[in-house]
Amino acid sequence: MNLPTRVPRRVVLTAPDENCPFCHTHLQISQHRDRAIRTIPEDLSLIMRDKKCPSPTCPQPHLRFRSTEESRIALPHDKLGLDVILEVGHLRFHQHLGFPRIHATLKERGLPISEMGVQYQSRKYEALVASSVTSSQNAVFEKLAARGFLLPIIDAVHYGSGEAVVYLIIDGLSGVPLFGQETVVRGKIELVPFIRQLTTLGLPIIGVVSDKETGLAPAIAEALPGVPHQFCQRHYLGNVATAMEPDLASLGEDVRKREEHLREFQRDLVRLATKAQKDGKPVPPDLSTALEFCEAARAAARIHGRPTTEPSPIKRHKELKRVQEAVSRAGRKKGGIGRCSKDCKQSSSPLRKRVGLRAG
């Protein structure tokens, strides 16, 4: 089975912290890290912008603050996303599928993974849902103790109504899982003992990050009284953008239809160019320019945006509008197919580089 080429989507993750929690100095970006992650729906090319405190008197001068979103996407050093691990675990332990069937299912969904890779992810799933850090003879705890405090992220992954939920508590600075629990019930009563495990480590908790789940927020308040609680900005923006989903779906369908018409038109142009070459005639400059504009427009119709802050349908519509304006400018200029070609190339080159589309 030949899988289609997956073009990585570039994502920039910047540490959200503005001021140092220890000395209140304004944090500065100290390093950029590149990381390639393969998730089920797409490949990601992550660029992480970490921050540190520039104050020489800060009690934690070597501490690096990272984006909490990185921990939600993948475990430390993994090349496959956390969604792959959880999906393999769901198929294995809830749908009771064998490894060959899971492998085939993931390949059908477009994920390049080996059958042995599926087995590795299944083992990671078992380790995640049973993860538990203790304050004795534990390498993870030793690293946490050397740092001297905790900044946990509490998140849940579920598969749909009635399905089991995996709750994870992840160290927000290192991305290491601290505690895991699989449960069908998602109420405050069940979550309080799970979250309270953090207090058994005996380390100060300077803050906690989570989404605004109905049972999770009050459970954190009861299990960790007095600890600053910050809601995930990504989930907040996602909730705000929910009202746009019908309009985005309609806009996306309109862009898709326009791309189909462009593809048909481009094929007609290619046939004309091929015929001219077979007849030994030069390809008209205006025909080459039209092909360039078609290529730019089709690339614009396939470009990726950012799911919440810049949805793909809106970005594709904007890029198509830019190409349309370039076509209009080229049509108004006098005497210059050369000028038209220049406008066309200025519009199409950035899009071709990002999408890798070719005429045909």
Q: What is the pLDDT of residue 351?
A: 45
- 262 in a structural domain: yes
- Write the Ramachandran bin of 39: left for phi over 0, alpha for psi from -120 to 50, otherwise beta: beta
Per-residue pLDDT tens over the stretch 349-358: 444 444 443 3
- 148 in a structural domain: no
Q: What is the pLDDT of residue 155?
A: 84
Q: How many CB atoms lie within 10 A of CB 46?
A: 20
Q: What is the pLDDT of residue 137?
A: 57
Q: What is the pLDDT of residue 101?
A: 92
- 57 in a structural domain: yes
- 226 in a structural domain: no
Number of domains in the chain: 2
Give the model's confidence band at 2: pLDDT under 50 very low, under 70 low, under 90 confident, else very high. Answer: low
Question: Which of 21, 53, 73 is the endpoint of a domain?
Answer: 73
Sign of the Cα pseudo-torsion (235, 240, 245, 248, in order): negative
Give the model's confidence band at 3: pLDDT under 50 very low, under 70 low, under 90 confident, else very high. Answer: low
**DSSP-derived 3-state class of residue 47:** strand
- 176 in a structural domain: no
**DSSP per-residue string spanning 131-182:** -B--SSS-HHHHHHHHHT-B-EEEEEEE-STTS-EEEEEEETTT--EEEEEE
Question: Which of 48, 73, 98 is the endpoint of a domain?
Answer: 73
Instruction: Enter the DSSP assignment of 197.
Output: G
Long-range CB pairs of 353-357, under 8 A, 24+ apart, other chains included: 354/299, 354/303, 355/7, 355/299, 355/302, 355/303, 356/7, 357/295, 357/298, 357/299, 357/302
- 298 in a structural domain: yes
Question: Which of 19, 40, 73 is the endpoint of a domain?
Answer: 73
Burial class (CB in 10 A: 0-12, 13-18, 19+), 342: middle
Looking at the whole model, is its pTM more than 0.75?
no
- 12 in a structural domain: yes
Q: Which has more pLDDT, 166 or 159?
A: 166
Of 80-84, 85-89, 137-141, 188-192, the poorest mean pLDDT is in 137-141
Q: What is the mean pLDDT of residues 260-270?
A: 86
Per-residue pLDDT tens over the stretch 82-106: 889 988 988 888 788 889 999 999 9
Amino acid at 123: R
Contact 292, 323 (CB under 8 A): no
Q: What is the pLDDT of residue 50?
A: 93
Of 127-141, 239-253, 291-305, 313-327, the poorest mean pLDDT is in 127-141
CA 22 vs CA 1, 28, 314: distances in Å: 54, 15, 41
Q: What is the mean pLDDT of residues 310-317?
A: 85
Q: What is the pLDDT of residue 333?
A: 66
Q: What is the pLDDT of residue 136?
A: 66
- 29 in a structural domain: yes
Q: What is the mean pLDDT of residues 73-86?
A: 89
Give the model's confidence band at 4: pLDDT under 50 very low, under 70 low, under 90 confident, else very high. Answer: low
Domain that holds residue 275: 243-355
Contact 112, 38 (CB under 8 A): yes
Percent of the chain with pLDDT over 90: 19
